[in-house]
Chains A and B, each alone.
Chain A
Amino acid sequence: MDIIGTSLKRVDAFDKVTGKAKYTPDLIPPHALVAKVLHSTIANGWVKEFDLSEAWKVEGVVDIVTCFDVPDIQFPTAGHPWSTDPKHQDIADRKLLNARVRCYADDIAAVVAENEIAAEEAVKKIRVTYEEFTPILTMEDAMKEGAISIHEERPNNVVVKSNYEIGSFEESIKEEGLTKVVGDYETPIVSHCHIESANSFAYMESGKIVVVSSTQIPHIVRRVCSQALGLGFGDIRIIKPYIGGGFGNKQDALTEPLNAYLTTRVGGRPVVLAYTREETFACTRTRHAMKFHIESYVRKDGSFAARSIKAYSNQGAYASHAHALVANAVNGFRMMYPVGAIKSEAYTVYTNMATAGAMRAYGIPQIGFALEAHVDDIAKQTGLDPLKLRTQNMMKLGYVDPLTTITCHSTGLDECIQRGEQYLSYTKKRKEYAKQTGPIRKGVGMAIFCYKTGVYPISLETSACRMVLNQDGSLQMQIGATEIGQGADTVFAMMAAQTIGLTVDKIHVVSKQDTDVTPYDTGAYASRQTYVSGMAVKKTAESFRRKLLEFAGFMLKKDPWDLDIKENYIVHTNKNEHLLSVADVAIESCYSLTNSTHIAAEESHHCTDNTYSFGVCYTELEVDIPMCQIKILDIINIHDSGKIINHQTATGQVHGGMSMGLGYGMYEHLKFDPKTGRMLNDNLLDYKLMTAIDTPELHADFVETDDPTGPYGNKSLGEPPTIPVAPAIRNAVLNATGVAINAIPLHPERLFDAFTEAQLI
């Protein structure tokens, strides 16, 4: 019986609907100390001096640590697999606490106290003397001649600049009869808004520092903590229980390194470092704001002769994932339409803004907005059909990317586009709606995307899995890959059951990762887990199955190659007659008087391939021009993520991604005070996270391909649904009103400016 492809209920759902699922705050030991961080009230400058005298007087204060006390070690925080090549290592540009203040609310000191109130009181009583510089909040100001260096290692504030060119751009644009289309596009800084804030608690046990944390990447956080404290990897132990969402923010070391250090200062007593919602907004990571300048040269038949892009990515105060984001964006620019000459220039720039890091789909929602808006701009300027423009120029089966060698092993993109066209009657409506007048107008829009699966060849990602047989024929499965809400544990259980020949109820997934116990895996990011970690599960299941059959062969005195496992029973290959139950094999293997053995398997997998998933968003909406408001009437995402392992959880991923895309396109952006650099809407009231009433009915569909490189024909899915939504909305507004708006979110203020300029109001 096929388990893959069903809608199995989540293996963790019961615990989550009953409150039994434990998250980091539910595991804090009684009488733990509480730490609070003192954040700077300037955005750019130096801490010159602290006056701690009043703070020390607060009853219950146990320790106060300042930026002058912490180890003199700069460390990187990005949740990338570590590179042993120094040239490819993440940028080590911060200490646990920093005297050089690089953003408003930078971490400059910390208090450990007997309780939260005492810690908060003491933090308030620390007096700080600063040397203050004018905050540098824009990339333009940061790159100006003579601008103050935010990090001395990068005097011009450019973290990294990179270029590539495919073919000759300058030669290609000399061709006769080309239409030149130019556009500038801009995307905002937004926040992940996982409902569980960044938090951890740390203590010492058996000579080690143990950090229990809400993280997507326990093994990477262990490495970062060891680097930050100058200790061995084995001196740190990270435990990751259930986590209340991450979306890339927790693909970074956040509270853990400082907390690991704080517990060493108080004799290893447990210390809680839980960020408030406001700190989670301002002091963790954000999505990079990017600016793009795109020039396209298009032939009369619609084919792209040459394209160029200049991309600028606002890194904020610290490098975190740094240039990897905009590099991914400009690679996406090339991969989506890999025809003609293509030229790129990309910059990542330090500013005194909140630090940007990984967020769902890693630079691709940014380029996705710019590129797909631009394709509709090409369609508008040339009169060509937007669907034909896309299908004509987009990536095709067999494409090998010249710079990364990533190959298109399967694609259902054409069918995604066709299915969406049929669903919405896009072409017919687009023509009809282009002729509207009056205050309320309808529009249709669409956008496509491609997305890699994992990070190969940038890193040879390693994943491991362990399976241990119980005497009743069930097994424990440990995976280094993490459940962060996306349903990883459930699909891993399905993969194991299918490959071994057991029913899913026999698979006990150990959801918690503990770096002292759990096999290695780099964690949840890059939509890699079903693809990379899934292969580790498959290999382990195959190995486990072989061991079970060998023992069954011993018991039955038969050649194991003639045996098979079907729904918890040993059978003859291609026959259904039950010879033994797996439970019989399990109990005999443990307690046999002649041949007892413990059946277990552990395998690791390193991924030496990559593949593209694809998809579209189509939407129909209504624009109230005088009110400057958009109402979504219909919206659908159609994805080719290869073979779908679990339809219900896959659909849930698409819904959640669409919702994040709707927020990105219409509501969300972080605001900063231009004078001080302080984040202004660092809370869930003023930051417009969509509620249920703001969210339209969401439709999801799949075009299932069978990818030859995926363990079960599957490709990336977790992040992609976020990508095409914002440009589809923007293109629908263009269809409705004729106004091309090149920045998001399309909130009323922006629509007002755009419609005023277009003399619609």
Chain B
Amino acid sequence: MAKKDITCTVNGKVRTYSVDVRESLSDMLRGQAGLDSIKHGCDVGECGACTVLIDGKPFNSCIYMAIWAQGKDIVTLEGLSDTKGAISDIQQAFIDEGAVQCGFCTPGFIMASIPIISSETEASREEIRRQISGNLCRCTGYENIVNAIEKTQKKRIAEKKSK
């Protein structure tokens, strides 16, 4: 089957991959970049477990063709830790708030929360719930996930104000 070279930025590094033109971005990133935080729960964009950031916006990478990634800036959960392994505030908040249970949906939720916690304006709990409603979790009832996102966005806004 036809192959094509795709050059994109993955977690801050420019990379070129030779991809099957039928391949999804999630398959490319799991298969060739070893980014196993990307999970497959449905393969058709229903569950959100494969969420990654593409040019800053969350996408279901299972229904995003690998060939569309040409020139894009992609961030996965692995890209949130620094090079020495220190984790980001939102990852720490998921630990602290008990937002993690089986953990299979966790990478997708953390990635879906990045635009919320990066926003200048504070989102209400209702708005947080709306923005993460493309991601499914069967373990937590979402309560502690919303808590983790809410606390992180409040902390970030307070930090910006104090500067």
Contact = CB atoms under 8 A, between A and B. Distances in A.
A484 to B, nearest CB: 7
A685 B138 contact: no
Interface string A239-282: 00011110100000000000000000000000000001100000
Nearest to A22: B36
A660 interface: yes
B145 interface: yes
A123 to B, nearest CB: 16
A131 B21 CA distance: 42
Interface stretch (A529-537, A603-611, A693-701): A693-701
A16 interface: yes
A480 interface: no
A656 B46 contact: no
A649 B137 CA distance: 16
Contacts of B110: 17
Given A9-B96, A19-B35, A26-B36, A692 B104 contact: no
Contact of B42 (A243, A648, A657, A684): A684
Contact of B140 (A277, A656, A694): A656
A660 B138 contact: yes
A19 B107 contact: yes
Nearest to A486: B101
A13 B47 CA distance: 21
Contact of A244 (B36, B104, B145): B104
B161 interface: no
A689 B103 contact: no
9 contacts: A17-B100, A22-B36, A23-B39, A195-B47, A195-B136, A196-B102, A683-B44, A689-B136, A692-B132
B49 interface: yes
Given A17-B110, A277-B46, A197 B95 contact: no
A244 B46 contact: no
B106 A16 contact: yes
B41 to A, nearest CB: 4
A195 B105 contact: yes
A18 B138 contact: no
Contacts of A487: 101
Interface in B89-141: 91-92, 94-96, 98, 100-107, 110, 125-126, 128-130, 132-141
**Interface SS, A side:** loop
Interface residues of B, number: 54
B78 interface: yes
Given A245-B139, A691-B135, 10 more contacts: A10-B98, A16-B100, A18-B77, A18-B85, A23-B39, A117-B22, A197-B42, A277-B42, A691-B142, A693-B126
Interface residues of A, number: 55
Interface in A1-30: 7, 9-10, 12-19, 21-23, 25-26
B91 A18 contact: yes
Given A683-B42, A692-B146, A18 B87 contact: yes
Contacts of A310: none
Contact of A245 (B46, B94, B138): B138
Contacts of B85: 18
B61 interface: no
A651 interface: yes
A19 B143 CA distance: 22
Q: Is the interface of B mostly helix, strand, loop or mixed?
A: loop
Contacts of B9: none
Nearest to B42: A277
Contacts of B37: 18-19
A12 B103 contact: yes
Interface of B: 22, 35-37, 39-44, 46-47, 49, 76-78, 81, 85, 87, 91-92, 94-96, 98, 100-107, 110, 125-126, 128-130, 132-146
A693 B137 CA distance: 12
B104 A196 contact: yes
B144 A245 contact: no
Nearest to A116: B27
A197 B41 contact: yes
A294 interface: no
Contact of B46 (A13, A15, A242, A685): A685
B41 A656 contact: no
B81 A195 contact: no
A685 B42 CA distance: 10
Nearest to A191: B138
Contacts of B92: 17
A660 B139 CA distance: 9
A648 B142 contact: no
User: Which of A25, A243, A658, A684 has the most chain B CB within a 10 Å cutoff?
Assistant: A684
B117 to A, nearest CB: 14
Contacts of A244: 39, 41, 102-105
A655 B103 contact: no
Contacts of B140: 652, 655-656, 659
A194 B95 contact: no
B141 A658 contact: yes
A466 interface: no
Interface in A670-688: 683-685
A693 B105 contact: no
B105 A13 contact: no
B83 to A, nearest CB: 13
Counting chain B CB atoms within 10 Å of each CB, the highest count among A18, A21, A684 belongs to A18
A693 B130 contact: yes
A329 interface: no
Contacts of A21: 103
A691 B41 contact: no
A659 B41 contact: no
A485 B102 contact: yes
A652 B139 contact: yes
A684 B49 CA distance: 12
A192 interface: yes
Given A196-B41, A655-B141, A242 B98 contact: no
B87 A17 contact: yes
A691 B109 CA distance: 12
Given A13-B95, A194-B138, A656 B101 contact: yes
B77 A692 contact: no
Given A277-B43, A659-B142, A685-B46, A692 B133 contact: yes
A195 B138 contact: yes
Contacts of B143: 655, 695, 697-698
A698 B128 CA distance: 15
A193 interface: yes
A487 B98 CA distance: 10
Nearest to B148: A17
Contacts of B42: 197, 277, 683-684
Contacts of B130: 692-693
Given A195-B47, A244-B39, A692-B142, A684 B101 contact: no
A162 to B, nearest CB: 32
B39 A196 contact: yes
